[in-house]
Amino acid sequence: MFLKMKSKNKISKIVTGILLCSCLFFSGFLVGKSSLSSILNSMIEGETLYTKADFGIFWHVWDVVKQKYKDADKLDDQKMIYGSVSGLVDSLGDPYSEFLVPDVSKRFLEDIKGTFEGIGAEIGINKNNKLTIIAPLEGTPAQRSGLKSGDEIIQIDEKMTVDMTLEEAVSLIRGEKGSKVKLTIFRVNSIKEQEINIIRDIIKVPVVSMSILNDDIAHIKLFNFTENSPQEFGEISQKILQSPAKKIILDLRGNPGGYLDAAVDIAGWFLDTGNVVVIEDQGKLGQKKYVANGSSVFKSWPIVVLIDKGSASASEILAGALKDNLKTKLVGVNSFGKGSVQEMINLEKGASLKITVANWLTPTGISISKAGLKPDIEIEADSNNISEKKDIQLEKAVSILESY
């Protein structure tokens, strides 16, 4: 998922698998009935170009509820407005377009800064429209509990997840350090559901690590694309350049995404300036290309990229850019396939709106959203767990590079 966050001073671009466990409907909509009424009435009278829909039914239902509901004296007008806006966005049928009430919007902004309280897992909606673990983050309660990429969440505590929105799921899964949440999950190739109890903790999103394999292979594990990723990747790169390493394994397994700018920046270490990193397809509005602009010091190095079904969004963008521009081999299993583009618009009173506006394409025009990235060499991890001592995907990447 791509997210553009609009504020008065800047626009930050963010790519994320979805929320970390972790004004479309008119500018005056959230300020109260009086301003809303004037807008809607003018629309009904044909004074704007927004729609020709009859908003009379809205006010009819509003008045009936206010007059006849048994607890009408306890109704919260602002809450009713928020509910109306949520219904409008839900009608799109797009799980990644969401209206966020003020406290939820505040929490989302805190999440993407990289530290929060919860279990440490990225969640999304899979191709079967099921609530799914995209990736448990490194060193978090989610990973320690045994959650795996691709696990479908059937139930959160005692609440079934059928027709549950992503935001509802995140709200239920998140919580204070030391508290417990029970997830009932279904794992592919399993014969029955299983319950996993997780103790929440403070989650600090990891960024990158590096080790030298076989004396000349730098194994770079990129956990997430945070605001600090370009700086930390740069520091790692300097260490690689000062080491005996002459080949690279870029490990994007279990990386659910992050900042778009971070992905484009890191691509600049591998691609010539001007090479296309990713294309934003806005449909009838056309396409926008994001290009590399960096030192490209690794462009001639033999490189293998590791991906799995926990590789999403920014991970898929970076992997796709290297594959299309450098013919880099992808090893592992099919990536998650998360390539929708959202714009986040700040609304009144701290509320916000995420609305899907485009899709990502690789430099050669392949849609990331449709099927993710297919590896050149498909190989399943042992027990679908890349933390096992025997990592056959990594071993395969090493053997490929040894042939250079």
Q: Which residues are catalytic?
A: 313, 324, 338
Burial code of 160-197, b = ≥16 C-beta within 10 A, e = fewer?
Answer: ebeebbbbebbbbbbbeeeeebebbbbbeeeeeeeebe
**Could you tell me if 335 and 39 are in contact, meaning their C-beta atoms sit under 8 angstroms apart?**
no
| DSSP H helical ranges for 289-391 | 314-326, 368-371
List all residues 6 or more positions away from 119 whose beta carbon is below 8 Å from its beta carbon: 21, 140, 141, 142, 145, 147, 173, 174, 181, 198, 200, 201, 203
CA angle in degrees (0–180, nearest 5) for 377-378-379: 115
CA distance 16 to 142: 18
d(CA 127, CA 371): 9
Q: Please say whether the dihedral angle defined by the alpha carbons of residues 157, 163, 165 and 166, taken in this order, is positive or negative.
A: positive
Nearest to 307 by CA among 380, 216, 358, 388: 380
Residue whose structure tokens are 């997210």: 3
Q: Give the integer Cα–Cα distance in Å for 233 and 95.
A: 32
Our separate counts of H helices and E strands in the chain read: 11, 22
> Is there a contact between 351 and 102 (Cβ–Cβ < 8 Å)?
yes
Contact call for residues 137 and 203 (beta carbons, < 8 A): yes
- Residues facing 185 on adjacent strands: 153, 194
